A and B are shown apart, each in its own frame.
Chain A
């Protein structure tokens, strides 16, 4: 089945440690996104990428980094500079037609819950 796979489902980080969250999609989607969700709140955009080898900061990029070396993969690294990393992290993808015109919906993975030890 086509879909978006996020791993691990639960992740624990020690103080001062970088951790990487995996996101893989087999939907042949061009665009991929990372969101953060805090308890009782909506989603906030961290980073997004519309094509391979290109990505842009979202609203809360500080303390995070990404790479997009392959169309299928968009890993997110939570660095030690992110002082409040405990949250639910969601990866999404969507078709992007040429020239950025798109009304296609974003499809989400089931998330990674990150906690601080």
Chain B
């Protein structure tokens, strides 16, 4: 079972910041938070991951709360090409057989022109 909870759908105006929340209240100390997105009929695309510090890359920013029980993915200037299903995943490190990713239902993000 997925260890994260996300809203089933969200929408955002083009050019605005899209903030996608994720609840992972049972996260363990050795688990990272990963975000992927999947555009229809394509493979999932890795976006970003983090442990406890906020992270930023060319695609997005990841804000993790101090207690690590929730996080927010921020797409700073959403475009129509960001329309996709976004998945928040927790996964441990230092555990050789835990390489699998458990995808939940994700959030379907729609960008309005």
> A residues bordering B, Cβ < 8 Å?
4, 6, 31, 33, 35, 41-43, 45, 48, 50, 56, 58-59, 88, 90, 92, 94, 96, 99-103, 105-111, 113
Contacts and interface: CB of A to CB of B under 8 A. Distances in A.
Contact of A45 (B32, B100, B106): B100
B105 interface: yes
B103 A43 contact: yes
Contact of B97 (A56, A88, A109, A111): A56
Contacts, number: 69
B87 interface: yes
Interface residues of B, number: 26
B99 A31 contact: yes
A113 B42 CA distance: 10
A8 B39 CA distance: 19
Given A88-B41, A92-B43, 20 more contacts: A4-B43, A31-B99, A33-B101, A42-B87, A43-B44, A45-B100, A58-B100, A92-B101, A100-B96, A102-B93, A102-B99, A103-B32, A105-B46, A105-B49, A106-B99, A106-B101, A107-B46, A108-B43, A110-B43, A111-B43
